[in-house]
A and B are shown apart, each in its own frame.
Chain A
Amino acid sequence: MKADPAGVLTGAHYLDGDFACGEGAMAAGCRFTAGYPITPSTEVVERIARRFPMMGGLFIQMEDELASMAAIVGASWTGTKSLTVTSGPGFSLMMENIGLAAMMETPCVVVNVQRGGPSTGLPTMTGQADMMQARWGSHGDYEIIALSPQSPQEAFNLTIDAFNLSEIYRVPVLFMMDECVGHMTEKVVIPPAEEIEIMPRKLTSVPPGEYWPYHVNGKYVPEFARAGDGYRFHTTGLTHDERGYPDMSAACQEKCVRRLVEKIKNNADKIVRFDEEDTEGADVVVVSYGITARVARMGISLARKKGVKVGVIRLIVVWPFPEKRIRELAGNIKAFVVPEINYGQMVLEVERCAAGQASAICVPHGGGGVHDPNDICEAIVRAAK
C-alpha cells in the first residue's frame, strides 16, 4: 500500500542522517516510538517527538532502554508500527527484549547509531563495532535482519525498507547506522506519499476461536492478530507450540526455534541486498558498509591508480549476509579487503564464506574517526600481490 501522507514530508531537504531516519520511520507508518536519550542517536526521536502529535503518533520517553524496547514490543501487538532508537550502551540493554521480539515474532525496528565502545566508550564519535552484537547479542538462537545506510538519503529510504521487512518476516529489524552517517548533513529527497510503498500490518482473516498465533500451515511466518480484536490469544517468551502455549520439551524447542531461524535463513536470497561494482576480472574486492563504504571509495581509486583491479561490494542489508555472492567471488579473486570501524567483525563473515578460496584481510579502525584512505589503498595493493 501507499504511505499515509500525514507522515511524509515530501520535498528536497537538507537533513542529517538521524533526522532522515526519523522521517523514514514516520513515512513508513511508524506511530509509536519509545526511547531513552543517548548520544549520538537522540536526534532521531527528537525529530519524531516534534512531528508525531500532528499525525496521530505517540512518543514516550521511557525510564531506560530496557523499558523502551519492552514498550515497543507491547505497542506492536496492538498493530501500531513501533520504533526505538539508541546507541551502543542502550543497545546492550535492549538485547533482552530484542530476544523477546524475536521469540514472539513481533515486527519492530531498532535503530542503533553506533559510537565507539566498549562500555561508555566514545559517546560523540563514530564506530561500527556493534555489528556482531546485532547478529548475536541476545541469548539463544534466532535470526534478525540488519541494514546499514551510507548517507542521510539512505537513512530515509532504508528505514522504510526496515519497517517493511519487519512486517513481512515478523522480526525485529536492526538499523545499524554510525555516528558519521547520523550526524552528516546532506540533501535528502522525500518523494510524495503515493510513491512510497509500505507494507501494512497484515491482520489474520482466520476468525477468533479458530486462530492459533503460531500456526504456520507450512509457511514460515504466522498470521498476526492484534490485541483488542477478540482473539484472546496467548503469547510468551517461553518455548511455545502453535497455540502460543509454553511447551517445555526438546521436540517443541526444535520446531519453534528452527522456524525462527529458517524463516530468515531460507528467505535470505529475497532479503540480502548489496551494491556490486567492477568485480568482473577483479583481483581484490573491497567489502564495506555504512560510512566506511564511502571512505573506501577514495582508497579504491588510489589503488586503481597503482594498477590494481579492484571490485566493490557494499553491504546494504548486513544480516543476513550475502553468503552466496561472497562464495562465488572468492573463487575468482585473490583477496577480500574489509575496512570497518572495529577490530574485525564482518571480516569474519567474509572469511567464513570465502572458505579459504581467497583471503580476507581486515583493515581495522578502533573508532572515533574514519579510516585514512591510504591505509585502505595499501591493504588493497598488498592483497593484490
Chain B
Amino acid sequence: MTTVTQQTEMVAEEHPIAPYLRMDRIPHIWCPTCGIGTAVKCFATALQETGVDLDKTAVVSGIGCTGRAAGYMKLDAFHSTHGRAIPFATGLKLGRPELLVTVFSGDGDLAGIGGNHFIHAARRNIDLLVILVNNFIYGMTGGQNAPTTPLTARSSTMPYGNFERPFNLPHLAASCGATYVARWTSLHIRRLTKSFKEGIERKGFRFIEVIAPCSTLYARLNKLGTGFNLMRFYHDNAEICHGADTRDLDIDFQNKLICGKFVDEERPTFLECMHEHYKKILGDRYVPIPPEGGMIHG
C-alpha cells in the first residue's frame, strides 16, 4: 500500500545554531523537556558569540545522557569511555596545546566514575572547560542513584530515598583549584550562555555546573511532575548569589538552588607552569611541545 502525504509548502530557514550542530544526527536522543539540549544550545551560542576558531575547538564527552552531547556538536568531537572524558581531553590538550578543549558530560560520568580524574585535573589546573550537566540521577541506565542525588530523593537503586550525602560540586571544584566555578540551571539561558562565554575565554580548569531536569526518571520517581514543573521549581527556588562561599552550595531535595559565579581567578595552567619551570631549570636546552602538536611530519 502506498501512502501519499500532502506536504504544505514550508519555509526552510536554518536554525541560528545549526552550523554548530551535526544536523544529520538530529533528532537527538534526549527525552522531551530534558535540560541537556538547552545546555548544548547555550554552549553553541557561546561559541558563536565568542567567535572562537571552531577548527581549533574540540569537545569530549564520557558516557550517559549528557555523554551524547559531543556527538551532536559540529566540532572535532570525541565520545570516549565512562568517566574518562577528562583524562582523554587532557591528552588532547597536551598533545596539541593550541586547541580549545571542552569536556561536556554528566554528573554520574564526571563526579561518579570519573571523580578521581576531575579532582586531579583541577589540582593540576589543566586548561579545560568542564561543563557538567547535573540531573541528580543516572538517566541513561534508568534512574539509579548518583553521587549528586539529594538526600531523601528517590532513585531506582534507593527506592526508599537516598541516605548518602551528595557532592557539593562547585565546592569540590573550587577546593581542588578550579580557576572558574559557576552554577546555573537550564532555565537561566542568558546567564548560562554568558557563563559559557566566560568559560571559553578564561584559562585553566573552568567548571560550570548546569542543573537540568530529568523528566523521565528523576521527576517521575520523585513525583515532581514533568520537566516543566522542574523548570517552574527552578524559577521559584533558584537564588543568584555571586561569590557565595562554596561551602554553602549543598543542594537539598526540592530546596533552594544557589546559582551564580563563585570563583573567577587567574592561576598559571599546567602547561604554563611546565614551560616556566623547564625554562628556568633547563634554559636553552628546553624544547617545548609545539602548539600544533608533537607530530613528526612526514
Q: Which residues of A contact B (CB under 8 A)?
A: 1, 4, 6, 29, 31-32, 34, 53-58, 60, 62-64, 66-68, 70-82, 96-97, 99-100, 198, 200-202, 226-238, 243, 245-246
Contacts and interface: CB of A to CB of B under 8 A. Distances in A.
A73 B91 contact: yes
Given A63-B120, A78-B99, A80-B295, A235 B78 contact: yes
Contacts of A201: 295-296, 298
Interface in B254-298: 270, 274, 278, 282, 285-290, 292-298
B80 A200 contact: no
Interface string B78-100: 11110110111111111110110
Given A63-B116, A74-B90, A234 B295 contact: no
Interface string B164-204: 00000000000000000000000000000000000000000
Contacts of B87: 34, 62-63, 66-68, 70-71, 74
Interface stretch (B1-9, B38-46, B54-62, B230-238): B54-62
Q: Which of A62, A66, A227, A238 has the most CB of B within 10 A?
A: A227
B84 A31 contact: no
9 contacts: A31-B294, A66-B83, A75-B91, A80-B294, A100-B81, A228-B99, A235-B77, A236-B79, A246-B79
B223 interface: no
Contacts of B89: 74
Nearest to B287: A56
A4 to B, nearest CB: 5
B251 interface: no
Interface SS of A by simple majority: loop
A235 B296 contact: no
Contact of A226 (B77, B84, B293): B293
Given A200-B298, A228-B96, A233-B77, A71 B288 contact: no
B213 interface: no
Contacts of B282: 53-54
Given A67-B87, A81-B295, A227 B285 contact: no
Contact of A1 (B25, B55, B70, B296): B296
B295 A6 contact: no
A180 B153 CA distance: 55
A80 B96 contact: yes
Given A97-B84, A236-B79, A78 B293 contact: yes
A6 B58 contact: no
A58 B294 contact: yes
A81 B294 contact: yes
B220 interface: no
